[in-house]
Structure 1
Amino acid sequence: MTASTTPCWLKRFSLALGFLLCLLSALPAQAAEDIVARRLSARIEEGALEISTRYQTTLPAPLQDALQQGVPLTFQLTFELTRPRSSAWWQQLKTLFEPTATLSFKLVYYRLTNRYRVAIGGLATNYGSLNEALSAVGSIAGWRVMDVSGWDSDSQHSLRGRVRLELDISQLPRPFQLNALGSRDWTLESDWITVAPEVNN
């Protein structure tokens, strides 16, 4: 009797395990659909590592509603040095394990004028549609992320880093931060993408 039920139990277990693995493997792919990198490049220019990026961002309905209600959305573009390993480790130690460089993009909707504004630091640009504004979020050319003027040519050629754009939940008003906890609709981030610079001699 036992011999006839054991294969059935194993079959059910393997089916359940397979289903669970399918669900887990689908999660990262789904999470990466909201922010997709369209262009990423790096180069060394005048002794500095420069990054250029462009992203396509899609806001889930709850975030669109929050934006329409006047809630500003802050996105953070992050660069982390990964190679050479010794330099990457020293960079992390020097910055107390913070990213090598970050840049914030603040997206705001003004109901009175029906316009969107994207601010990068002290510079801001207005847009007539949400799609236009979102195309500006995470888009930057010649972003100087670190000084490599003291590096020799071999070290510059071996330099590698990774870049990611994500919604900075910590910048949301407190009630919205609570809503964002554990919610798929409020977790927006791109995949980490490795970049290697072109070296201009």
Structure 2
Amino acid sequence: MLLLAAAAPARADNAEVTQLRLERTEEGVLLSASVSFELPPAVEDALLKGIPMFFVADASLLRDRWYWYDKHIAGGSRHMRLSYQPLTRRWRLQLSSQPIGNAGLTLGQSFDTQEEALAAVRNVSRWKIAELSDLEPDAKYSVDFRFRLDVSQLPRPFQIGAVGQSDWSIFAGRNQRLALENGR
């Protein structure tokens, strides 16, 4: 079942979640989202010099409770490492469920242009955030989605210069009420 959200998007200074959709399928609960942002000049300059940038998308599925804070049901993180290879003039994007530097399984893809690579970073498609067994039929749910540039994974000299600088800030988030239909 496809569920569309109707609330207005939350807007940050330089990024915006333009689309947020949740699907209930046999695979589980799948999230699709689009984030609109432009790279700040300092970030783009660092990328073109071969320094990789790290982006993180976080999603939490929350069940409404009247007596306390909403209960965290499920969720996850998607880590993305975008890099430019100056010698080959190709862009590389790596995806993982854990920070890229901590080994583990990563999926990689190469692109010819910066626009193609950023389009892959900006769009999250059919990301499994919960199992169907995690859901109660009569409960109401919301999803909390956040997307950001993770400066903590940059090389040390960039971390020191990036703290508190708006040129190194990309953040977008949206918390949206979603009702899962009972029928299949």
TM-score w.r.t. the length of structure 2 is 0.77
Distance 1:197 1:134 in 2: 31
Distance 1:78 1:153 in 2: 25
Distance 1:191 1:143 in 2: 16
Cα RMSD (Å): 2.4
Q: Deviations along 1:83-128, whole A, 9 cap, x unmatched? A: 323794354xxxxxxx831111111000011111111122222222
- Which structure's CA Rg is the greater one? 1
Distance 1:109 1:173 in 2: 15
SS in 1 for 2:126: strand
**Unpaired stretches in structure 1, ≥5 consecutive residues:** 1-27, 92-98
SS in 2 for 1:75: strand
Provide the identity percentage. Answer: 28
Code of the aligned partner of 2:171: E
What does residue 144 of structure 1 align with?
128
Distance 1:195 1:111 in 2: 44
How many pairs were matched up? Answer: 163
Code of the aligned partner of 2:78: L
Q: Does 1:176 align with 2:158?
A: yes
* Residue from 124, 128, 133 that aligns with 2:112: 128
Distance 1:145 1:54 in 2: 16
Distance 1:115 1:139 in 2: 20
Q: Deviations along 1:171-190, whole A, 9 cap, x unmatched? A: 11111111111101111101
What does residue 6 of structure 2 align with?
none
SS in 2 for 1:70: coil
- Superposition pairs for residues 5-154 of structure 1, below 5 Å? 32-46=12-26, 48-85=28-65, 88-89=70-71, 91=73, 100-121=75-96, 122-154=106-138
What does residue 7 of structure 1 align with?
none
Code of the aligned partner of 1:125: Q
Q: Bigger shift: 129-138 or 67-76?
A: 129-138
Q: Deviations along 1:9-31, whole A, 9 cap, x unmatched? A: xxxxxxxxxxxxxxxxxxx96xx
- Asked whether the equivalents of residues 75 and 138 of structure 1 are also in contact (C-alpha less than 8 Å), the reply is no
TM-score w.r.t. the length of structure 1 is 0.72
- The structure where strand makes up a greater share of residues is 2
**Unpaired stretches in structure 2, ≥5 consecutive residues:** 1-9, 97-105
